[in-house]
A and B are shown apart, each in its own frame.
Chain A
Amino acid sequence: MKVIYTDSLVIGGGMAGLRVAIASMERGYDTIVLSLVPAKRSHSAAAQGGMQASLAASVKGEGDNEDVHFEDTVKGSDWGCDQQVARMFVNTSPKAIRQLATWGVPWSRVRKGDRQVVINNKRVTITEKNECHGLITARDFGGTKKWRTCYTSDGTGHTMLYAMGNRAVELGIQVHERKEAIALIHDDGVCHGAIVRDLITGELIAYVSKATTIATGGYGRIYSVSTNAVISEGIGTAIALETGIACLGNMEAVQFHPTAIVPVGILMTEGCRGDGGLLRDKDGHRFMPDYEPDKKELASRDVVSRRMTEHMRKGKGVHSRYGDHLWLDITMLGREHIEKNLREVREICEYFLGIDPVKDYMPVRPTQHYSMGGIRTKPTGESPTLKGLFSAGEAACWDMHGFNRLGGNSVAETTVAGMIVGEYVADYCGQNSPSISTKLVEKFLKREQKKISDLLERDTGENPYEIRNEMQKIMMDKVGIFRNGPDLEKAVEELKVLNQRAKNIVVRNKISSSNPELVDAIRVGKMIKLAQCVAYGAMLRTESRGAHSREDFPERNDKEWLKKTLTYWRSEDDDLPEVEYEPLDISKMEMPPGSRGYGVDNTIPNPETEKRMAEIEEIKKAHPDADRFEIQQLLNPIDLPEKFKGKNERIGRGFK
């Protein structure tokens, strides 16, 4: 039995995982990161567009601060987020970006003087102030009041991941590459590490730890067409679910990005529209202003994706052998801008489509992009039900995104959550010295070993790829952008059958070492459980909120559905998750539910909302001299690690 001991075990080598690892290492705890691939190849690298932080250095960001970022984030979430967590996030994001600047990210900077930008299809000159020259600049993104998305050209994720990866190398953090955690070790409601398969030798290793953090990203690959990397299969999320004790939150909240290219589903950054790009239909008509006269192409992603689908359903899509699509037009931005700020876009067009976006329109349609749901955590990042298990980044439902994430808030979450949760992970390591029996470790190791030998020894059964493809098709056809009761019921029933069939998978390749088919066979059963949490949660949620859009229940129902879906998988024999709901408490909201200002507003209000509004007014009246920070603490008190509590300075405004 091979056992490796450490204080802080981090599963996942993307930005969230690396940032948690850096935090626990800096606090002096032995730290190991497990990664399916070399850490710098993680899906974080694919984030092109940018990171939201209210630095307010660019002239179009003037007046921005944490409060405005908070408002945008809560509206974006369609009031589905945890406002306490959203506050922790917006207050820390400026620090995160400034820290990354010291670690080497070459953030694009403000250049003083006039520059030409495209706003609403018109060339406009804006003038950057002299005193802001050389500070970190920002671009426009969907669903934001200010230009707040900081970036490095269009390789933001790449430069952030490399800075983080290099920092980890500097600190001597061990990254164990090509290792896959396939089960968590736990006992009596406490997590003690993971059973890990070496993807080269096939060996099973027990990693025993004080704190275990899952940062394995999203579960986009349960859909057949996704912008996600091929490794974004949600396995970390699934092994938490399989404990039967940890729960997942809001799994039905799945985001479709408006602009992925057809047919391969590769993302074209929101920066295309942020910088002035337009959506056009088969007649070349710019249709978004017809639906969203105010935000147009830059409404939140859930809204733009739905409007595009609506428009294609009216027969306005461009027909192709891969189905209908629309056009993304960035030709008005000009060659210089595209080759500098949207170069990856140009490269992808050249290699995958054989077109030049300087002259040609890009074929796009909404495509699965982001998993708002994930491992439910407390604001500290720890599971509320399984002690010692933490989660951060897309894998987690922390939950600052609610039912729709804003562009630029995901890479921001990975670093900010990594910083905050990393401190709590370190605290946990300092406060706990669990005793773990060898017997317990052996029990889990043997259980996983047996599952794999059974798989390898089985002679007849199901093909893992067929099962996976069927699952992906069910999700695509029946649990997509627009959802309805009958389709969701069918999806749930079909997934139940698939879940049974997955117990009888057979592999043709019988070797136990490096074996890609075996890897897929191990994963597919786990992915089906996640898919079922999504489908079942969506079936039960009889309202529309953010990215969850029910044709048979088009209203956002604050009266009955202001709550988070929690799913548990209690037993291996189950075909359905157990569902609980965690209420979102209006009486504690800094910003009670209201209109988003884009999309259709047909909310069924909750009577508590008015009460809370009045209460907020009273609190404000009772404290006429309080500044915005004091008001925030009165309305939405948050706790942050000591080192992140300070106010953020901005040019021309100081710490106000």
Chain B
Amino acid sequence: MSDQEEKGRTLKISVLRFNPQVKGDMPRMQTYELTEAPGMTLFIALNDIRENIDPTLQFDFVCRAGICGSCAMVINGKPSLACRTLTSTFPDGEIKLLPLPGFELIGDLSINSGKFMQEMNERVESWIHDKNMNNVDLTRIEERMDPDVADEIYELERCVECGCCVAACGTKQMRPNFLGAVGLVRLARYALDPRDKRTDEEFYEIVGNDDGVFGCMTLLGCEDYCPKDLPLQTQIAYLRRKMAFVK
């Protein structure tokens, strides 16, 4: 292996800096230069910057394995999970990072996606609705479920609430109250689940309007940028068809 390869090239990482907690702070781009290491991800690079160059830089990572959905940001124009983005995938070594739009900004690359997702969960009532749920005798054998149905529910349950679909959504830019793919797919997940006793009419009350499934302009940025490759397009279409027949 050559010396040059060992030393690594110089990366230029530009970050939108802004701390709303500091009075008078103004948004600006700041560029950091650092030496690339083999196998370097943006998780490693940003921590390197914080520890060795600029301790004020704000960002969020938790699992750093693409599982928890904390670190979504706009990476060279595309919403994506930073932790599993290898710096080697950028041929010119220049990387521009912006916070995910559509969410309250905490500072720099850190956004309050938790607050947004909490509201989404409350809005679609993201839980099993069954009056008898609390009376189930836990000592008894569980209710059966078709293995295929369980697998299908899991397919939709894989959403990690990262917010990439919301950031990539054209409708959301125009309609601040639009539920977004994350909410629609969550609803579809419960509509599919035989344990949830809600009727189509009840689902209609939640998403049967322009802020719900009828607002979607099918631009499908959500489908393009979902890091978990959820079938968002199919599910939104399915839900729309289902809802169109309710009233």
Q: Does A pair with B?
A: yes
Binding site for B on A (CB under 8 A): 37-43, 45-46, 95, 97-99, 101-104, 106-111, 133-137, 152-153, 155, 158-159, 162, 165-167, 169-170, 175, 177-178, 200-202, 229-231, 263-264, 266-267, 321, 340, 344, 347-348, 351-352, 354, 465, 507-509, 511, 513-517, 644, 646-651, 655
Closest CB-CB distance, B42 to chain A, in whole Å? Answer: 11
Picked from B113, B117, B130, B147, the residue with its CB within 8 Å of the CB of A102 is: B130
List 22 interface pairs A-B (beta carbons < 8 Å), by A numbering.
A37-B62, A38-B114, A38-B117, A41-B70, A43-B63, A103-B127, A104-B128, A106-B193, A107-B150, A109-B145, A152-B154, A264-B39, A264-B64, A266-B65, A351-B66, A354-B86, A508-B55, A511-B56, A513-B22, A514-B58, A517-B55, A655-B139
In the complex, are the beta carbons of A102 and B41 less than 8 A apart? no
Is B212 on the interface with A (CB-CB < 8 A)?
A: no
Known: A38-B113, A508-B55, A511-B22. A46 touches B127 (CB 8 A): no
Closest CB-CB distance, A94 to chain B, in whole Å? Answer: 8
Is B50 on the interface with A (CB-CB < 8 A)?
A: yes
Picked from A136, A264, A517, the residue with its CB within 8 Å of the CB of B50 is: A517
Identify which of residues 24-83 in chain B touch chain A, using a CB-to-CB cut-off of 8 Å: 38-39, 41, 50-52, 55-58, 60-70
Closest CB-CB distance, B138 to chain A, in whole Å? Answer: 4
What does the 1/0 interface line of B145-172 toward A look like (CB < 8 Å)?
1110011011001101100000000000
Known: A134-B145, A155-B157, A351-B66. A516 touches B55 (CB 8 A): yes
- Chain A residues whose C-beta falls within 8 Å of the C-beta of B84 in the assembled complex: 348, 351-352
- Chain B residues whose C-beta falls within 8 Å of the C-beta of A106 in the assembled complex: 145, 150-151, 153-154, 157, 193
In the complex, are the beta carbons of B139 and A646 less than 8 A apart? yes
Closest CB-CB distance, A629 to chain B, in whole Å? Answer: 13
Binds A, one of B91-99, B118-126, B173-181, B231-239: B118-126
In the complex, are the beta carbons of B138 and A98 less than 8 A apart? yes
Closest CB-CB distance, A98 to chain B, in whole Å? Answer: 5
In the complex, are the beta carbons of A104 and B63 less than 8 A apart? no
- Chain A residues whose C-beta falls within 8 Å of the C-beta of B106 in the assembled complex: 178, 200, 514
Is B3 on the interface with A (CB-CB < 8 A)?
A: no
In the complex, are the beta carbons of A43 and B62 less than 8 A apart? yes
Which residue of B is nearest A99, CB measured?
A: B138
In the complex, are the beta carbons of A155 and B158 less than 8 A apart? yes
Q: Taking chain B's interface residues, is the majority helix, strand, or loop, or is none over half, making it mixed?
A: loop
Is B217 on the interface with A (CB-CB < 8 A)?
A: no
In the complex, are the beta carbons of A170 and B70 less than 8 A apart? no
Which residue of A is nearest B22, CB measured?
A: A511
- Chain B residues whose C-beta falls within 8 Å of the C-beta of A110 in the assembled complex: 147
In the complex, are the beta carbons of A649 and B139 less than 8 A apart? yes
> In the complex, what distance in Å separates the CA atom of A98 from the CA atom of B85?
38
Is B195 on the interface with A (CB-CB < 8 A)?
A: yes
Which residue of A is nearest B153, CB measured?
A: A106
In the complex, are the beta carbons of B70 and A155 less than 8 A apart? no
Is B183 on the interface with A (CB-CB < 8 A)?
A: no
Which residue of B is nearest A161, CB measured?
A: B68
> In the complex, what distance in Å separates the CA atom of A591 from the CA atom of B170?
63
Known: A104-B127, A162-B157, A516-B58. A348 touches B141 (CB 8 A): no
- Chain A residues whose C-beta falls within 8 Å of the C-beta of B126 in the assembled complex: 166, 169
In the complex, are the beta carbons of A108 and B67 less than 8 A apart? no
In the complex, are the beta carbons of A40 and B56 less than 8 A apart? no
- Chain A residues whose C-beta falls within 8 Å of the C-beta of B130 in the assembled complex: 102
In the complex, are the beta carbons of B62 and A133 less than 8 A apart? no
> In the complex, what distance in Å separates the CA atom of A101 from the CA atom of B143?
8
Known: A45-B68, A166-B121, A514-B21. A229 touches B62 (CB 8 A): yes
- Chain A residues whose C-beta falls within 8 Å of the C-beta of B141 in the assembled complex: 135, 649-651
Other A-B pairs beyond A43-B68, A153-B154, A351-B84, 4, CB < 8 Å: A37-B114, A99-B138, A102-B195, A158-B157
Is B19 on the interface with A (CB-CB < 8 A)?
A: yes
In the complex, are the beta carbons of B128 and A46 less than 8 A apart? no
In the complex, are the beta carbons of B157 and A465 less than 8 A apart? no
Which residue of B is nearest A200, CB measured?
A: B106
- Chain B residues whose C-beta falls within 8 Å of the C-beta of A165 in the assembled complex: 121
- Chain A residues whose C-beta falls within 8 Å of the C-beta of B70 in the assembled complex: 37-38, 41
Picked from A162, A170, A229, the residue with its CB within 8 Å of the CB of B125 is: A170
> In the complex, what distance in Å separates the CA atom of A347 from the CA atom of B230?
14
In the complex, are the beta carbons of B21 and A158 less than 8 A apart? no
Closest CB-CB distance, A124 to chain B, in whole Å? Answer: 20
Closest CB-CB distance, A60 to chain B, in whole Å? Answer: 16
In the complex, are the beta carbons of B139 and A158 less than 8 A apart? no
Picked from B38, B65, B121, B190, the residue with its CB within 8 Å of the CB of A348 is: B65
Which residue of A is nearest B84, CB measured?
A: A351
Closest CB-CB distance, A270 to chain B, in whole Å? Answer: 16
- Chain A residues whose C-beta falls within 8 Å of the C-beta of B118 in the assembled complex: 38, 169, 175
> In the complex, what distance in Å separates the CA atom of A229 from the CA atom of B139?
35
In the complex, are the beta carbons of A200 and B21 less than 8 A apart? yes
> In the complex, what distance in Å separates the CA atom of A39 from the CA atom of B68?
10
Closest CB-CB distance, A65 to chain B, in whole Å? Answer: 13
In the complex, are the beta carbons of A514 and B195 less than 8 A apart? no
Is B247 on the interface with A (CB-CB < 8 A)?
A: no
- Chain B residues whose C-beta falls within 8 Å of the C-beta of A37 in the assembled complex: 60, 62, 68, 70, 114
> In the complex, what distance in Å separates the CA atom of A111 from the CA atom of B147?
6
> In the complex, what distance in Å separates the CA atom of A321 from the CA atom of B70?
30
Closest CB-CB distance, A349 to chain B, in whole Å? Answer: 11
Which residue of A is nearest B6, CB measured?
A: A321
- Chain A residues whose C-beta falls within 8 Å of the C-beta of B117 in the assembled complex: 38, 40
In the complex, are the beta carbons of B144 and A135 less than 8 A apart? yes
In the complex, are the beta carbons of B62 and A108 less than 8 A apart? no
In the complex, are the beta carbons of A348 and B60 less than 8 A apart? no
Picked from A97, A108, A354, A651, the residue with its CB within 8 Å of the CB of B150 is: A108
> In the complex, what distance in Å separates the CA atom of A165 from the CA atom of B107?
26
Closest CB-CB distance, B112 to chain A, in whole Å? Answer: 8
By Cβ-Cβ distance, the 6 closest A-B pairs, closest first, are A38-B114, A134-B144, A517-B55, A646-B139, A351-B84, A106-B153
